[in-house]
Amino acid sequence: MCTCLSLKNKDFYFGRNLDLDYSFNEEVAITPRRYEFKLKNGSTFYNTYALIGMATVYDEYPLYAEAVNEKGLGMAGLNYPFHDMYPEPKEGMNNISPFEFIPYILGQCKSVEEAREVLKGLWLDNVPYSDKLPLTVLHYMIADENECIVIEHSKDGLLIYDNPYGVMTNNPSFPYHLENIKNYRHLSTNNGENHFGHDIDIEEYGEGMGAIGLPGDASSASRFIKASFLKLNSHCNEDENSNVAQFFHILDSVMMVRGSVVTSNKRYDITTYSCCVNASKGIYYYKTYDNLGISAVNLFKEDLDAKKLIVYPLNRELKITYHN
């Protein structure tokens, strides 16, 4: 389970909650320019643009959960359960394994417009990284400061949807979320007028009553509504600290607390980490479930023409400031 978010307030920000019942040995990974990706289709891909994001690194290969490139284009994969697995490779198409998808798009595209062109000939197939690392069924959100799209796969190829909300969660498919949000068009940040009856005066008893009915549970449909409502009504100053704090506040509103979501195998889903990337400046901010403090890695403070991956282990230990 996950929630992805894009937000522009002077600078452009992209990030997500990653909700799982386990850690996947994630680290902040920077892929420099011209890094060699040996694709499963037999070809070799060298990225034009450097990337920063959260990844599991196996044998010097960054398996990204999400990333942003040096041009400000962001992409994230979100769990998409209960859907058919990826199809077999298809002759005549540009076959790409899902684990290659994020670096393949971000490595060569500087905008959503360019990504649309690359996606036209792309086929996401069912070839895993290895026998020990099977594929997880995902759908994807891609965003820049001007537009946002969602990509979902089918047996007939990729489905591409415009995303006017800049928010994405999980199953059901994206068209469902576009329809479901219509049920909440009455919500307001202001206290609403009394429509209960014309002959009786019913007064509000507190602030925020215009948003009664805003979902608060952990389901993907509810998280989509709540994150969209908070994002579309977000107001904060344009300085960096205010934007980063605001972004994390929105993600915090839909995070999973240990014990609140029990999986079918009797484990607990939690928000293992949250990230906010200033895509305009290449700064990757994150916090983990156990460490609420914000850590940051700046893409542009590294040698982006280096020959090897640059990896930063996560700060997972909570640090408390005592005042007495």
pLDDT in tens, 231-277: 999 999 999 999 999 999 999 999 999 999 888 889 999 999 999 99
∠ Cα 41 144 181 (to 5°): 100
Average pLDDT of span 286-312:
97
Higher pLDDT, 197 or 118: 118
Read off φ and ψ for residue 82, nearest 5 degrees. Answer: 70, 20
pLDDT at 206: 81
| Residue 86 per-residue DSSP state | P
The answer to whether residues 229 and 184 touch, using CB atoms and an 8 Å cutoff, is: yes
Using alpha carbons, select from 266, 227, 268, 233 the residue that is nearest to residue 248: 227
Q: Which helix (H) or strand (E) holds 244?
A: helix 240-252
Cα 199 to Cα 265: distance, rounded to the nearest angstrom: 54
Run of H or E residues at 64? strand 61-69
Mean pLDDT, range 213-220, rounded to an integer: 93
Q: Which of 2, 4, 148, 276 is catalytic?
A: 2
Give 143 or 84, the one with higher predicted confidence: 143
Task: Tell me the C-alpha distance between 122 and 108, whole Å.
Answer: 14
The CA distance from 272 to 158, in Å, is 29
pLDDT at residue 199, as a whole number: 81
Give the CA count within 13 Å in the CB-facing half-sphere of 262.
3
- The sign of the dihedral angle between the CA atoms of 218, 277, 158, 88 is negative
Checking if the pLDDT of 201 tops 90, the result is no
Q: Output the pLDDT for position 188.
A: 87
> Is there a contact between 142 and 105 (Cβ–Cβ < 8 Å)?
yes
To the query of whether residue 2 is one of the catalytic residues in this protein, the response is yes
- Using the predicted structure, report yes or no on whether residue 198 has a pLDDT greater than 80: no
DSSP letter for 214, please: -
Average pLDDT over the chain reads 94
The tokens for 169 are 């969660």
Q: Are 267 and 21 contacting, i.e. CB atoms less than 8 angstroms apart?
A: yes
CA atoms within 13 A on the CB side of 286: 29
**CA–CA separation, 272 vs 217, rounded Å?**
18
Give pLDDT tens digits for 133-178: 889 999 999 999 999 999 999 888 899 999 999 999 999 999 999 9
Neighbours of 14 (CB within 10 A): 33
pTM greater than the 0.85 cutoff: yes
Between residues 191 and 66, the one the model is more confident about:
66
Q: How confident is the model at residue 102 (pLDDT cuts 50, 70, 90)?
A: very high
Please choose, from the candidates 288, 226, 309, the residue with its C-alpha nearest in 3D space to the C-alpha of residue 34: 309
Q: What's residue 166's pLDDT? A: 98
CB 256 within 8 A of CB 1: yes
Give 23-70 pLDDT, tens digit per residue: 889 999 999 999 999 999 999 999 999 999 999 999 999 999 999 999
Type of residue found at 35: Y
